């Protein structure tokens, strides 16, 4: 991941080059989409979610962007024993906040793994910017929001239901 995040920009990848301001606009647009989910929450949950969005959006403007896999989770990491042997499904690769790649790795696996990952990342030249863990937690919390939105947009009530359970579980 350190090599991926250090890759010199989108020009050599064919991906769209973006700025931190562009990234913020994209995140704000996602927040607007999430209003569909907010309507399904009770008042207390909605306030907590709105606070989460407001706090996080204020942290994006000064980001150093990087090349991302943008969908790292157990289903995309190939292992043999305890050794990572590959990463699959690069269809979401993009330029963005490196914290997105850390979301599940730091907050979905457990603290011993998270510490080992950060150590290995920095040993290989990766830069752990201020606020990375907090932004990664934010992106981890958003996982179920994507599930709810997909369920709403494809008329799959079971995804809406399971996604809402995840949203409620991960709210700050």
Tell me: the pLDDT tens digits for 104-156?
999 999 999 999 999 999 999 999 988 999 999 999 999 999 999 999 999 99
Boundaries of every domain in the chain: 2-170
Strand 83-87 to strand 77-80: parallel, antiparallel, or no bridges (unpaired)?
antiparallel
Q: What are the DSSP E strand ranges found in 13-97?
A: 66-68, 77-80, 83-87, 94-96
Token pair for residue 54? Answer: 């407001």
Residues in contact with 89: Cβ distance below 8 Å, sequence separation at least 6, in sequence order = 71, 75, 76
For residue 128, the model assigns a pLDDT of 93
Instruction: Please check whether residue 105 is in contact with residue 33, taking contact to mean a CB–CB distance below 8 angstroms.
Output: no
pTM of the model: 0.92
Tell me: the pLDDT tens digits for 52-99?
999 998 877 678 899 999 999 999 999 999 888 999 999 999 999 999
Report the C-alpha gap between 132 and 144 in whole angstroms: 20
Residue 85, phi then psi, degrees to nearest 5: -110, -10
CATH architecture of the domain formed by 2-170: Alpha-Beta Complex (3.90)
Q: How far is CA 70 from the centre of its chain?
A: 7
Instruction: Please check whether residue 140 is in contact with residue 104, taking contact to mean a CB–CB distance below 8 angstroms.
Output: yes
The residue-averaged pLDDT of 16-35 equals 93
Residues in contact with 116: Cβ distance below 8 Å, sequence separation at least 6, in sequence order = none
pLDDT value at 16 more than 90: no
The residue-averaged pLDDT of 1-9 equals 89
Residue 94, phi then psi, degrees to nearest 5: -170, 175
């Amino acid at each position: 991941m350190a090599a991926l995040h250090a890759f010199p920009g989108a020009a050599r990848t064919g991906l769209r080059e973006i700025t931190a301001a562009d990234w913020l606009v994209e995140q704000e647009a996602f927040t607007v989409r999430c209003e569909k989910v907010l309507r399904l929450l009770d008042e207390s949950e909605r306030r907590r979610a709105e606070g989460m969005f407001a706090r996080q959006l204020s942290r994006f403007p000064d980001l150093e962007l990087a090349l991302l896999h943008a969908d790292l989770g157990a289903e995309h990491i190939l292992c043999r024993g305890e050794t990572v042997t590959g990463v699959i499904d690069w269809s979401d690769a993009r330029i963005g906040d490196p914290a997105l790649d850390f979301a599940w790795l730091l907050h979905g696996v457990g603290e011993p793994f998270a510490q080992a990952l950060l150590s290995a990342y920095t040993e290989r030249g990766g830069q752990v910017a201020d606020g990375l863990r907090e932004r990664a937690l934010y992106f981890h919390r958003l996982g179920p929001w994507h599930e709810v939105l997909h369920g709403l947009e494809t008329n799959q009530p079971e995804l809406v239901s399971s996604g809402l359970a995840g949203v409620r579980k991960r709210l700050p």
